[in-house]
Amino acid sequence: MGAGLTARRHSPAWLGDGLYVLEWALTLAAIGLWASGKIYVPLMNAGSVLLVGAWTLRWAHTRRPFPVTPIDLPLVLFMLSAAVGLWAMPNWWEALTRLYLYLGAVGLFYLLAECSPRALARFSAGFVAFAATLSLYFVTQNDWANQPVKFAAVRALGLALNRLVPDLGQYKPHPNVVASVLALVLPVALMLALQSWRSRAMADRLTTLIAVGGGLVVLFGVGMTASRGAWLALAGAAALALWWWLASRASPRFAAPQPAVFWGGIALVALAASIVFIVRPQLITTIFGALPGFSSAVSRLEVYQQSWRLVQDAPFTGGGLAAFPALYSTYILVIPQSFITHAHNAFLNVLVEQGWPGLGGFAGLMALAAWRATTQLRAAPDAYRPFVIAGALGIGIMILHGLSDAALIVSRMAPAMLIPAGLCLAGAAQSAGARVGAQGLAPLPAPQPWRRRLALGAVALAALLLMVVWRPALTAWHANMAAVAEARVELYGFPTNEWNDGQYADYLAPAESEARRALALDPGNRTANQRLGLAAMLRRNFGEAAQYLQQAHTADPDHHGVTKALAYSYVWLGEYDRAAPLLASIPEARTELGIYVWWWQAQGYPELSERAHATYQRLEP
């Protein structure tokens, strides 16, 4: 079966290939529906029917809906956490759109994992062609005159292209979104060109033309995005490739396999970098600020630090899929407008929205895919090896770019996020398929005694840890549930662009109940105190709010949202002396207080309006 799956069984070749093409068509059609709009529309639900249809076809033909791969467990964990995030997110339509995009990524991954070499080459050529088209669309349709551009030369070239090509009036993707996809394509184009250029066959010559020509167009597009994070990721991937070659030379000297030397070196560099950034976290901003072009990363460290507070609020469930903009604005900035779309770090963004289970699944699937690619590269068949290399480089680019940006996983390009993992595991289904017979999967081997002892030891260790941490864990659980319950009320319909007038305060009773359970176990819990304080503010009980928020501020004096809410509570109580030192750390306070003068008057609270005006006059302009 030249173009079909590696593990098809007991059917004519033409039928297997036909069903395989139909699977691809249904999966890509589903992805097209889900990526067709920025907001949810009911038609997107048809995409789930298409994807289920594709999986049903595979099951009918192979007696299994998915191939077996090494990353199945972390992938399931990631998707389960995304489903929990759908429950946690009050604006379910936004979360459902994101979940659909993730399902598209899963469907694409499993197709790639069991592709034949010929099918992989065709997919790679199509992927490069798509990226080249996206690159041309971006450079000609981006509004270079009105959008911020980091480099004058890029702006000048973009303006020239705008004059040559008319504006089509369609969707204009953000440069960082475009860069996140184009960067993943470059290793694919490179390896596809290297694989096909030796052949004299007409089809392979066409593939070479697509790979080389498309790759150059993609490279041009990456440059025009002016995404310094993507540039650094590509440079980092090149450095990883060089280190892989050096590890092959060093492995005899260390009497260790090449993968062990490779991963050992990476571990040392990662450890050293972690220590440096822990000791001097301001280097994050310094490094990005020192890059060419104007800096948009001056507050990047602040975003990371404050986003970590959102992680502490809901470590088990996450704050909700696609909820980061609402969470950051509401509980960090205390504003009703959308201010920032993601955490500028893919791992941190997943951690905020899907909790530790989501991060474990996300990081685990990439780590396992990269590990398998490096450990099995030499053993991989020659026909698969270029794609495995492209996937490994793509994983490196995703990880490195993900440290400074999260555009890929939060945008309509999210279905591409598992393509590198799928390429890393190219051919994996072939070895798994060898275990599939006419009666289905072969029986699992009997457990070995050492595995039983290891499992018992793990259970005993888990029980011991549970005895030690059960109280703080239970506290965190109740605080988590309080945070989610309150957010499901406060964030509904975000962004409203209007301050909360308190009409839904009574709906916060379940959240307050969970928060009090947390405080019964730990009176100093910051999340529980903050949520109770915010609920009291909505009921205009500012004395009670100040008590809870003061406890939260004592637990975490650098939490911007707690500091701001506490300062305003003191202002509404008329305690200007207590509010003043807190307001000094809130640069936007004077502007907001000027608006509060009008807003409180419109709400029928003239006394609070006067207090806002008095504080406004005291603050330096």
Model pLDDT for residues 372-428, shown as the tens digit of each residue: 999 888 888 888 999 999 999 999 999 999 998 999 999 999 999 999 999 999 876
- The pair of three-digit structure tokens given for residue 76, joined into one six-digit string: 């399931």
3-state secondary structure 68-85: CCCCHHHHHHHHHHHHHH
What per-residue confidence (pLDDT) applies to 298? Answer: 44
Taking each helix axis from N to C terminus, what angle separates 526-538 and 509-521, rounded to the nearest 10 degrees?
150
The dihedral region occupied by 293, where left means phi > 0, alpha psi between -120 and 50, and beta the remainder, is left
Helix residue ranges, H only, 197-227: 202-225
CA atoms of 111 and 419, how far apart (whole Å)? 10
The residue type at 388:
V
In the numeric block, the tokens 């979104």 are attached to 177
**Predicted local distance difference test score (pLDDT) of residue 196:** 83
According to DSSP, the β-strands at 436-437 and 440-441 are: antiparallel
Low-confidence stretches of the chain (pLDDT < 70) are 1-16, 200, 202, 282-298, 428-452
pLDDT reported for residue 290: 54
Helix (H) or strand (E) holding 352, with range, is helix 346-376
CA distances from 396 to 132, 219, 389, 575 (A): 21, 17, 11, 53
Q: Which amino acid is at 219?
A: L
Q: What is the CA radius of gyration of the chain?
A: 27
* C-beta separation of 155 from 144 below 8 A: yes
Predicted TM-score of the model (pTM): 0.90
What does the pLDDT read at residue 239?
A: 96
| CA proximity to 509, closest of 489, 529, 530 | 489
Task: Count Cβ neighbours within 10 Å for each residue of 438-469 and write b for 16 or more, e otherwise.
Answer: eeeeeeeeeeeeeeeeeeeeeeeeeeeeeeee
Rounded Cα–Cα distance for residues 505 and 531 (Å): 12
In this prediction, residue 440 carries a pLDDT of 37
CB neighbours (10 Å) of residue 481? 21
CA pair distance 414, 181, nearest whole angstrom: 9
CA 311 to chain centre: 14
Phi (first) and psi of residue 342, to 5 degrees = -155, 175
Rounded to a whole number, what is the distance in angstroms from the first to the last CA of the chain? 74
* Two tokens, residue 456: 């018992």
> What is the spatial distance between Cα 94 and Cα 499, in angstroms, rounded to a whole number?
21
User: Rounded CA gap, 284 and 291, in Å?
Assistant: 12
Q: What is the DSSP letter of 588?
A: T
Distance CA 122, CA 2 (A): 11
Question: What are the chain's domains?
Answer: 13-433 (no CATH), 471-555 (1.25.40), 558-621 (no CATH)
